Amino acid sequence: MIDYLPLRRINALRSEAIHAAAARVIDSGWYLLGQEVAAFESAWAEYIGTDHCVACANGLDALKLILQGYKELGRLRDGDEVVVPANTYIATILAITATGLTPVLVEPDPATFQIDGTRIEAALTPRTRAIMIVHLYGRPAYTPLIADICRRHNLLLLEDNAQAHGAGVHGAGTALRRTGSLGYAAAHSFYPGKNLGALGDAGAVTTSDADLAAVVRALANYGSARKYVFDHIGRNSRMDEIQAAILLAKLPFLDADNARRREIALRYIREIHNPALSLPAENYAEGNVFHIFPVLSHRRDELQAYLKAQGIATLIHYPIPPHKQRCYPQWNALSLPTTERIHTTELSIPCHQALDDTEADTIIAALNAFR
């Protein structure tokens, strides 16, 4: 059986470093708000290319902390609108509604799965204050057009970088700029299945806005910047020392792991030829770290059953779009055809650093033989 994402095998690749990191924390007697978290924050800020990183408990909290932080700073107010891709994972939208803000769903570009910049301006209203781009499937969503819209309309550009650790964009003649450093602030999740995965829950906010970094740090610590003094109504959202130590141990391998994902993804793009399937074009690979490799088929459920019978596990990202969820009845009647088409045709095939060439051969052969 070829598993979709065998975390046991993936973490076994770094077994020694992970065990040493965990043992160091276990033996230290210090489990929260210590030097491992501080060291990871510095390393992650440097890797992403921002001045600050604040570690927190998970990716959803990271998103909420950014939005709540900008409310505390007066940049966002109750009922303000935040533009967001309609086909994102639900967490992006949960963070917006949980903070008393209003998501405005914008359709993606079907070729890239990312928010379609040409549709954003039509969605702006006098209440729009921010655009939350989501680098979905590991592919950068940032475009110069989106940055330009933010500048012209004085909007906060925010990033959900949960799926795109290490992805980047090249400006004209400039060095690589990593996702997570492209806007005012970015949320990261280190859920075990993400490209840089912890062995439990963990998240972080990166930003070069010193005011936001300070308020996010306080909000994640009960609203306190000084012991027993509470300036904000905060929460407890901490990253465990043991998770920080494990992430620090895995970070040096992230680029190599992403390179292996790309290698496999490029083989899929070049070697799978089947009129019953639609694969991303080669330029889809630009800056992409392939958190998810999407194949589209109008016979998606049949394809999934066929692959399962061949011993290949797959997942769907995602079966039901946010606007069709029962938790958001106000959007259930909306028609978002591009989003709905992705949700009815998308199938994710295995694409990770522990996948070997023989397994990739099997997956390619099976997809080419699907009739």
Residues at the site binding ligand PLP, with contacts judged by CB under 6 A? 58-60, 88-89, 91-92, 134, 160, 162-163, 189, 191, 201, 203
Q: How far apart (Å, rounded) are the C-alpha atoms in residues 32 and 35?
A: 9
Continuous H helices in 49-138:
59-72, 90-98
Q: How far is the CB of 323 from ligand PLP (least distance, A)?
A: 16
In DSSP terms, which residues pair with 85 in a beta bridge? 106
Distance of CA 364 to the CA centre of its chain: 26
Query: CB of 311: closest distance to ligand PLP in angstroms?
Result: 27
Tell me how far apart the alpha carbons of residues 283 and 244 are, in angstroms, rounded to a whole number.
35
The partner residues of 104 in beta bridges, in order of sequence, read 83
**Residue (of 255, 257, 258, 296) closest to 279 by Cα position:** 296
Of 162 and 277, nearer to ligand PLP (C-beta) is: 162
In this complex, which beta carbon is closest to ligand PLP, that of residue 258 or of residue 367? 258
Edge-first strand order for the sheet with 102-106 is 52-56, 203-207, 185-189, 156-160, 128-134, 81-85, 102-106
Q: How far is the CB of 227 from ligand PLP (least distance, A)?
A: 28
Minimum distance from residue 135 beta carbon to ligand PLP (Å) = 8
CB 320 within 8 A of CB 328: no
- Residue 287 or 364 having the CB closest to ligand PLP: 287
Long-range Cβ contact pairs of 173-176 (< 8 A, separation 24 or more): 176/287
Nearer to ligand PLP, 91 or 185 (CB): 91
Sign of the dihedral through C-alpha 355, 15, 47, 215: positive
Single out the residue of 328, 342, 329 nearest to residue 94, CA to CA. 328
Where do the DSSP E strands lie in the chain? 52-56, 81-85, 102-106, 128-134, 156-160, 168-170, 176-178, 185-189, 203-207, 293-296, 346-349
In the complex, least distance from residue 276 CB atom to ligand PLP, rounded to whole angstroms: 28
Query: Token pair 């973490």 is at which residue?
Result: 11
Q: Closest separation between CB of residue 88 and ligand PLP, Å?
A: 6
Supply the minimum distance, in Å, between the C-beta of residue 5 and ligand PLP.
13
d(CA 180, CA 182) in angstroms, rounded, equals 6
Supply the angle between the helices 59-72 and 90-98 in degrees, to the nearest 10: 30
Tell me the closest approach of the beta carbon of residue 188 to ligand PLP, in angstroms: 8
Q: Which is nearer to ligand PLP, 57 or 149 (CB)?
A: 57
Q: Residue 72 Cβ, how far from ligand PLP at the closest point, in Å? A: 21
Least distance in angstroms from the C-beta of 13 to ligand PLP:
21
Output the residue with the shortest Cβ distance to ligand PLP: 59
Structure tokens, 141: 């969503």
Residues 6+ apart with CB under 8 A from 80: 101, 102, 127, 128, 129, 130
Q: How far apart are CA 353 and CA 15, in angstroms?
A: 14
Would you say 91 or 247 has its CB closer to ligand PLP? 91
How far apart CA 237 and CA 224 sit, in angstroms, is 12
Task: Kindly tell me which of 65 and 347 has the beta carbon lying closer to ligand PLP.
Answer: 65
Which one, 138 or 366, has the nearer CB to ligand PLP? Answer: 138
Cβ-based nearer residue to ligand PLP, 63 or 363: 63
- Between 41 and 201, whose beta carbon lies closer to ligand PLP? 201
The letter for the amino acid at 258 is: N
